[in-house]
Amino acid sequence: MSLDINKVVIKTSLTSCFGSHFKEVEGANAFIDELAEDAEEVSFAQGEYVFREKDAPEYVYIPESGSLMLERSTASGSRQVFAFLFTGNLAGLSENVSYSFSAKALTNCVVIRISRKLMQDIFDKYPAVAKRYHDVTGHILSLILDQLFIMGQKSAHQRLAHFLLDMEHRLGRGTHRFLLPMSRQDIADYLGMSLETASRGFSKLKKDGLISIESNYQITVTDSEKLISYAD
Amino acid sequence: MSLDINKVVIKTSLTSCFGSHFKEVEGANAFIDELAEDAEEVSFAQGEYVFREKDAPEYVYIPESGSLMLERSTASGSRQVFAFLFTGNLAGLSENVSYSFSAKALTNCVVIRISRKLMQDIFDKYPAVAKRYHDVTGHILSLILDQLFIMGQKSAHQRLAHFLLDMEHRLGRGTHRFLLPMSRQDIADYLGMSLETASRGFSKLKKDGLISIESNYQITVTDSEKLISYAD
DNA sequence: CAGCACACTTGATCATTATCAATGCGCCAT
DNA sequence: ATGGCGCATTGATAATGATCAAGTGTGCTG
């Protein structure tokens, strides 16, 4: 029984994730049923790794609740955060021999896990899904290029402003207020700056009246207009 | 007659490009024949654009001779170079509604152009090719993540060292000597630094005996060992 | 309720990198 | 040859950001 309920939950999540990407594809409901049949929910505590950089890429992951962070670390202790993933985002789509980053739970979370072998079967069965999946990969690639542009061309404070606008858009649910699930250090490692520089950026944006900081993690964008122009 | 000769040349190029990516795929020769049937050679003069950022992505391109640069510019005059493409590299694989960058000819060059519509037909006909194509996209994505890591975590001089090692690998044909097809400004825009910083990086690496600069563009790596450790 | 731990903030200083300016060098056309 | 042009180098200075070092909450634990 509880398994049946889980399947319904999984299917709802898959629909809200894949449905948005694949809704115009014929047989959309059929392939989501097949995915749901195989998909599993797995829980991770804050700080645990969902997968690691050198693992064989056996699964595709979708956060159902909670947030993930994709990162790469070096022996020398430096770390680059590649992306933050929230409910319904996808991870591990296009890895070949091994993941090229680790996925760490930012919060306690439940993650839907789909075997890549099954995905491949579905692609063979529904070529239109395979095509759309490739489009999704292309979209992710273009997001990373955006990030690369920002890293190469913008100052630290501008990068922080971009980041906050992105978070407002993805976490704000249509409002200007959102709760960040990551630390200042995570943000700094995402934007290629020191923790202190990130913190000073927050302080300056607050002092200038572009954002308000209700608590360390609870942010409101109080002047979108100015924040946007500040970011460019 | 000359058309037949062109087809042979195109087929040779396609084989050396796609063959390396797809050689283990069944029907590899068949699909390359079909590609060659449709592929066209197009020439561009140095500085011309092969395609622009906002164009509809109608083709996939492969330099047959000469080099390309993938870049994005803003109205305010800043520019990020995303990649340099040499003979046999691929451009425009995974663009959806529009290219997310422009491709500019670094040198006079001849480029093979394949319609994406044809590619799609071939994917439908040879699913194994579609799968490998997706793997290639995944590989490109991982290269961009490497670049993002370097941009976020390395100093300007380290980024330049990385760049030179990459160029040695891709242009050196097994030797330590290579001719750069791009200007100092192009390198600076690729690595997110000013022209002057790039130039100072060259001078320092030369002074420290890690590279020698025969002319502005003709470089030899004289101490790979040290250059590698300098890059980390 | 005290005190400790942890994350963030702020300050002071130093290193890196950008910017502005001048100079040098090779190449081409006259 | 010579002058000019485009690109690269080099120098001086300013801005940006990193690092080191206190301080400031805030929440948890005893």
CATH number of the domain encompassing residue B193:
1.10.10.10
Interface residues of A toward B, Cβ cutoff 8 Å, are: 72, 74, 76, 78-80, 82, 93-96, 100-101, 120, 123-124, 127, 130-131, 133-135, 137-142, 144-149, 151-153, 189-192, 232
Question: How many domains, chain B?
Answer: 2
Residue whose C-alpha is closest to residue A111's, from A168, A33, A46, A19: A46
A18 shares its domain with A82: yes
Q: Running DSSP on this structure, what letter comes out for residue B196?
A: H
Q: What is the pLDDT of residues A8-30, one digit of tens each?
A: 877 787 787 777 777 666 666 77
d(CA B109, CA B107): 6
Nearest residue, CB atoms, B127 vs list A101, A124, A142: A124
Contact B212, B222 (CB under 8 A): yes
CA B196 / C1′ C21 distance in Å: 12
Range of the domain at B51: 5-146
Task: Mark which of A146, A180, A203 sits at the end of a domain.
Answer: A146
SS3 of chain B: helix, strand, coil, percent, to 5: 50, 20, 30
Residue B15 confidence (pLDDT): 82
Q: What is the spatial order of strands in the sheet that B177-179 belongs to?
A: B177-179, B218-221, B211-213
CA A108 / C1′ D28 distance in Å: 19
Q: Report the share of chain B in percent with pLDDT over 90.
A: 69
Q: What is the pTM of this model?
A: 0.91
CB atoms within 10 A of CB B137: 20
B119 shares its domain with B171: no
Which residues in chain A show pLDDT less than 50?
1-2
Amino acid in position A147 = Q
Residue whose C-alpha is closest to residue A115's, from A52, A196, A61, A171: A61
d(CA B34, CA B29): 9
CA A215 / C1′ D23 distance in Å: 19
Q: What is the pLDDT of residues B32-64, one digit of tens each?
A: 888 888 888 999 999 999 999 989 999 999 999
* Residues paired with B103 in a beta bridge: B51, B70
Instruction: Find the residue in A nearest to B155 (Cα).
Output: A192
Residue whose C-alpha is closest to residue B85's, from B10, B186, B201: B186
Q: What is the pLDDT of residues B64-89, one digit of tens each?
A: 999 999 999 999 889 999 999 999 99
Q: Provide the shortest C-alpha distance from residue B120 to chain A (in Å).
A: 9
B51 shares its domain with B120: yes
Largest CA distance in chain A: 57
How sure is the predictor about B132, in pLDDT bands with cuts at 50, 70 and 90? confident
- In three-state secondary structure terms, A113 is strand
Return the residue matching tokens 């839907």.
Answer: A112
Q: What is the pLDDT of residues B175-194, one digit of tens each?
A: 999 999 999 999 999 999 99
Instruction: For an interface test with A, give the residue of B90, B102, B134 to mutate (most A CBs within 10 A).
Output: B134
Residue A25 confidence (pLDDT): 66
Strand D nucleotides below 7 A of a protein CB? 7-12, 16-21, 27
Residue B33 confidence (pLDDT): 81
Contact A26, A129 (CB under 8 A): no
- Which phi and psi (to 5°) does residue B164 adopt? -65, -35
- In three-state secondary structure terms, A13 is helix
B182 shares its domain with B135: no
Q: Which CATH number do you get for residue B68? A: 2.60.120.10
Interface residues of B toward A, Cβ cutoff 8 Å, are: 72, 74, 76, 78-80, 82, 93-96, 100-101, 120, 123-124, 127, 130-131, 133-135, 137-142, 144-149, 151-153, 189-192, 232
Amino acid in position B167 = M
Question: Count of alpha carbons within 13 Å of B147, Cβ hemisphere only?
Answer: 26
Amino acid in position B100 = S
A55 shares its domain with A117: yes
Task: Mark which of A146, A179, A203 sits at the end of a domain.
Answer: A146
Instruction: Find the residue in B nearest to A132 (Cα).
Output: B96
Task: Mark which of A95, A124, A146 sits at the end of a domain.
Answer: A146
> What is the rounded average pLDDT for all residues in chain B?
91
